Structure 1
C-alpha cells in the first residue's frame, strides 16, 4: 500500500534513525526518474552534516570501457551493469562503522562524464545515518540481498508513470541526448529496468508517494 508523505514527515522518520554514537543505513529505492537522489539530498541537507551523509549506488556503475568490453554499453543502467558485490561490501563497511573508526571513502557517479569516480565522498565514522539510493536495493539476485540486509530501512519511492517518464526524458536531454533519443531511452532500456524494480517493491519497509 502506498502512503502519501510530506518532506517533513520523511525527514522526521529519517531523523529517528540518526542516533548519535550508532550507525544506520537508510535505503531509498525506486525506478529511474522516481526522485530518489533528490529526496536523498533533501534529507541529508535538512538533517545536516553532523547527522547524515549521502552515498549513491550509482558509484558502482561499471565503467564505459568495461561495459563496451562486455557488450552491455547499449543498456547502461541495467541490473548487470553494476558491481553489486562491490556495493554490498561498501554498505557492510558503512553499517559496521562506529565513532573513532577511520572514514569510509565511497565512489560517486558523475553524469557530466557518465563515469564513476573513486573515493568521491568521505563518510566520517561519527555521522550516524548514511542515506543510500539506487534502483536495485531490493533485487533478489546477486549480492543485492547482502546489501539490503545491512540497511535499517528501505523506502520505495512511488511516482506516477507520466511524471517519471517526463523527468527521464528531460534528464537524458540535459546530458546530451537529442529529444528523440531521450524519449527512446526512457521508454526502452529505462522502462525495462523500471518494470524489474517495480516487481521488488513489496520488499520495502514502506512505499511512499512524496507529496511536497
Structure 2
C-alpha cells in the first residue's frame, strides 16, 4: 500500500507518487528510452527501498534488473583494519568508487557485454562477488541504496549517472520499528538492536534525510515491508 506525504524536509516541495502501478508506469517510460537507463531509489535504513525496487522489477519483466548498493559494503576484515567496524553502514564503509565505476560501465560501456556485480548477504554480513548478472538485454537498472543522492565525497558522482532519483519516505516510527525487528532477526538481542537502530543507524538516517531534496520524486510506503 502506498500513502501520500505532504511533508517536505529541508528542500523545495517535490512531486509525490502514491500508487505502485503509476510508479511502474513511470519506470517503464525510462526503460523505453534509447539506450540503457538507471533508476535510483534512495532512503534511510528500513525505509522500504528493496521492497519497492523488487516490486518494480517484477512488474517490468526481464528487461529490468535490480542492483542493490549494499553489494559494495567493505568486507568486515577491511572495516576492522580501518577502525570502522562499529560504524558499518556509514558512507565511508562502502566502496563508493567501485559502485560509481559499475554505474558508468552500465550506462556507457559496450552493451554487448555481460556485467557482474556483488550481492550483500545479511546472514553472513558480507558480499559475494559476481552474483548479480546484468546482460545485454537489460534496458533498465533499478539501483537502490542509502547514499545514491549524497552530494559528498565519491558518492557525489552517483546522482549524475541516474536518469531519475526517487526518495522513499516512510513514517519514521514505523521505519525504526522495522529496523529494530530486522536487527533482531539477524542475531542481535533486542537491546543491541534498539541501540544500533537509534545510534549508528540513526546518525546515517539523518545524513540520508538531508539528500531528499535531490530526488525527482518522493514515495511513501506503509505496511510491514522490510528494506
Alignment TM class, shorter chain as reference:
over 0.9
Where do 5+ consecutive residues of structure 2 fail to align?
1-12
Q: Which residue of 2 aligns with 1:59?
A: 71
Offset of residue 160 of structure 1: 0.8
Cα pair 1:27 1:133 within 8 Å, conserved:
yes
Matches of 2:185 and 2:221, distance apart in 1: 24
Render the CA deviation track for 1:17-72: whole Å, top value 9, x for unaligned.
Answer: 112762000000001110001111101111112x2000111011000000000111
Cα pair 2:71 2:119 within 8 Å, conserved:
yes
Structure-1-length-normalised TM-score: 0.95
Cα pair 1:91 1:150 within 8 Å, conserved:
yes
Matches of 1:169 and 1:137, distance apart in 2: 23
**Which residue of 20, 35, 38 maps to 1:7?**
20
Offset of residue 4 of structure 1: 4.3
Cα pair 1:44 1:54 within 8 Å, conserved:
yes
Q: CA RMSD, aligned part only?
A: 1.4
Where do 5+ consecutive residues of structure 1 fail to align?
none
Q: Which residue of 2 aligns with 1:197?
A: 208
Structure-2-length-normalised TM-score: 0.89
Render the CA deviation track for 1:100-144: whole Å, top value 9, x for unaligned.
Answer: x11110111011100011111110122100000000111111221
Matches of 1:98 and 1:89, distance apart in 2: 14
Q: Which residue of 2 aligns with 1:121?
A: 132
Matches of 1:134 and 1:95, distance apart in 2: 18
Structure 1 stretches of 4+ moved >4 Å: none
